[in-house]
Amino acid sequence: MYDYPVLQALGEQAPAGMIAWDRAPFWTVSTPAMQSFASRFNSAYGSYPNEFAIIGYTAVQGWEYAVRQAKSFATDQVVAALAGATVPTIRGDITVRACDHQAEVPGHRHDRRDAERAVRGAALDERVHRPAGADPVTVP
């Protein structure tokens, strides 16, 4: 299994038939916010964001949401505001479970051909696993 940065490094040498994975692929999350983020990231850094850039940005969005809901920076109030919350993010709405404060987020898998298209900035086809109702994104 491999992810986007590994595919970038391997290019055409990535083994055929391998299954790739990504926790936050910009090319399969079809929210306007993700499209905007990926475009702005590419303009600023000359490449598209890897999952860690997206996850980091999403984490800050969650923290901002909780601070605004709590109307405070106090840790206990921010934690309480996140418990059971559904947070709007560039990845779509993410629910934070009240029982253990874990975020419910999708994972994505694709095969090498799909991943190669993503590396080139093309949309993935319908064989990619995505949340119900999600459409592929054509990266600008």
Q: What is the pLDDT of residues 7-61, one digit of tens each?
A: 767 777 777 776 666 778 787 787 899 989 999 999 999 888 888 899 999 999 9
Cα gap 48→137, rounded to integer Å: 13
Model-level pTM greater than 0.85?
Answer: no
Residue from 135, 134, 139, 127 nearest 20 by CA = 127
Q: Please say whether the structural domain 4-119 has been given the CATH code 3.40.50.2300.
A: yes
Confidence of residue 110 (pLDDT cuts 50, 70, 90): low
Residue 93: Cβ-neighbour burial (10 angstroms; 0-12, 13-18, 19+): exposed
Range with lowest mean pLDDT among 57-61, 93-97, 106-110: 106-110
Q: Locate the domains of the chain by residue range.
A: 4-119
The residue ranking higher by pLDDT, 19 or 74, is 74
